[in-house]
Amino acid sequence: MRESILRRGRFGRRRKNKRGGVIARILFGLLIIAGSLVALWLNEGRVNWADAARKSTAVDAAYNPDTEGEFVSVTGLTATSAPIGDDRYLRAGDYLRVDREVEMFAWVEKEDSDEDETSYTYELEWTDDPRPASEFNWPDGRENPPFPVTSETMTAVSARVGAYQFNTETIQYPYTDPVPLSMETVLEGPYQITEKYIFQGKGTLAQPELGDIRISFEAVPANVTMTAFGVQRESSLIPYNYRDKGELYRILTGDRAAAVARLQTEYRNLLWGFRIGGALLMWLGFGLLFSPFTRLLDFVPVVGGVGKLAVTAVSFILAFTISLTAILISAILHNLWLLLLVLAVLIIGGGWFWRQRR
């Protein structure tokens, strides 16, 4: 349970220079607009790793010397040389990887700004990155103790899918699953155990005190069917370099079809996420760029509200139009065949128009 409301720190206020604030908003708005254009350009050149994965040669879980040196996909049961866990808290089990996440109940600084001033609020919350009081704007009485234990990732010494070994430290794993905690899975110690957390401190998990910590675990299980992508080197898999655009060295849950589908979903979600995010970021940039006008409209009693809505609408239209244009141009320039198609259409259309004019 959070105690931030009961133990909230006082507000600290610092007056800003109005003229400097307006200039800073305009410059920051321009910077955000430029950054969103760069992000949209880079996003359209994103590698679709599903396309790369489809080019792999599917091999059986048993070792096949005929595919030596080829880019392959191997589907089979995963196994490790020995069980792994956390020597401090978690008993060893059938895992490829175990992530220990540690959070502290500590002071957290929050900033709230408006046109004239900035307010800082301090609350006691669970955080995985407690800052020292020296980094706070108002540090008095808000000293966070050091972490007694840190977050850490443990991986199996060696592991394989079928007959093929892979590097447990460099391969990219699927998403981790929470590890249910109990007296059977957790080592004995001076702490409280729930299904999700190990708690250490003076308080309780329901009513923590400053400096208390809670620990959770996530893991990638072994002894399940997975598909790994890489270049075959004898009985091992190593990273595959795809057209000098990056390396594909992944292991995903399920068979080859499920793994490729997962990669395609990741690509689609990232592509559209960055498209929408880039457009929203540009909208924010135009909002900051036009902020002096909205500030002036505050002094117009009758039309001020309508004027601010109009400025917001104009900002949205500009952001949407420029973002859509940037996406289309970037997609064309990043796709050779699409670029050739557009050029062919322009040449044919220009020739037809020229003949019509004669």
Angle between helices 304-334 and 18-44 (to 10 degrees): 30
Does residue 48 carry a pLDDT above 70?
Answer: yes
Strand partners, 99: 153, 218
Q: What is the pTM of this model?
A: 0.77
pLDDT (tens digit, 9 = 90+) per residue, 194-227?
999 999 999 999 899 999 999 999 999 999 999 9
Is the Cα torsion angle 240, 242, 246, 252 positive or negative in sign? negative
- pLDDT > 70: what percent of the chain? 84
pLDDT number for residue 311:
81
pLDDT number for residue 270:
96
- Cβ neighbors of 165 (< 8 A, separation 6 or more) are 158, 159, 235, 236, 237
Compute the distance between CA of residue 180 and CA of residue 222 in angstroms, rounded to an integer.
16
Lowest-pLDDT choice from 43-47, 178-182, 225-229, 354-358: 354-358
Amino acid at 199: F
pLDDT number for residue 134:
84
